Amino acid sequence: MIIREAAIADIKQIQFVRNGVKENTLSDPALVTDDDCAEFITVRGKGWVCEIDGRVVGFAIADLKECNIWALFLLPEFEGRGIGRRLHDTMLDWFFSQTRSNLWLGTAPNTRAEAFYRKSGWTEIGTHGKGEVKFEMTFERWSELTRADQPGNSLK
């Protein structure tokens, strides 16, 4: 398993992953274009992919301009292996190395994603869009959580 920065050449596989999920599906796959992906990984923020045997099986993209998580998705058959956690942590480490601004995201309620973000220390702050749960992560909270991962600490 390799976690690496996403490149333009990965967009076709990123789109395959995005359209292969079972939760938080797009009502119309044409809503997220290849140009959108390129802009988010090269201009607005940065993205990462998880590659196994040369195949992208998950990805994460942070939007530095709007201070939000634009995407974090895995192919369903790769869930439960720690890939989402590694992508998440890599993305948040990068984001908070760039800014101290609060980071937010929206996700569908009553999904594995909602449970994942709660378990990951995000704070629910309301709703977003069409009934999505809106979460926030602060620099201070992320610092506490990452310190808790170090031996001898027990904040998590």
Q: Structural domain boundaries of the chain?
A: 2-148
Decide if pLDDT at 102 tops 90. yes
pLDDT computed for residue 57 by the predictor:
96
Q: What number of other Cβ atoms are within 10 A of residue 30's Cβ? A: 7
Over the range 67-96, which residues count as b (16 or more CB within 10 Å of their CB) and which as e?
A: bbbbbbbbbeebbeeebbebbbbbbbebbb
The 10 Å Cβ neighbour count of residue 131 is 9
Mean pLDDT of 95-114: 95
pLDDT at 135 over 60: yes
pTM to 2 decimal places: 0.88
Count Cβ atoms below 10 Å from residue 138 Cβ, excluding itself: 16
Judge whether residue 19 has pLDDT over 90.
Answer: no
Q: What is the pLDDT of residue 130?
A: 86
Work out the end-to-end distance of the chain between its first and last CA atoms, rounded to an integer number of angstroms: 26
Domain 2-148: which CATH number of 3.40.47.10, 3.40.50.10490, 3.40.640.10, 3.40.630.30: 3.40.630.30
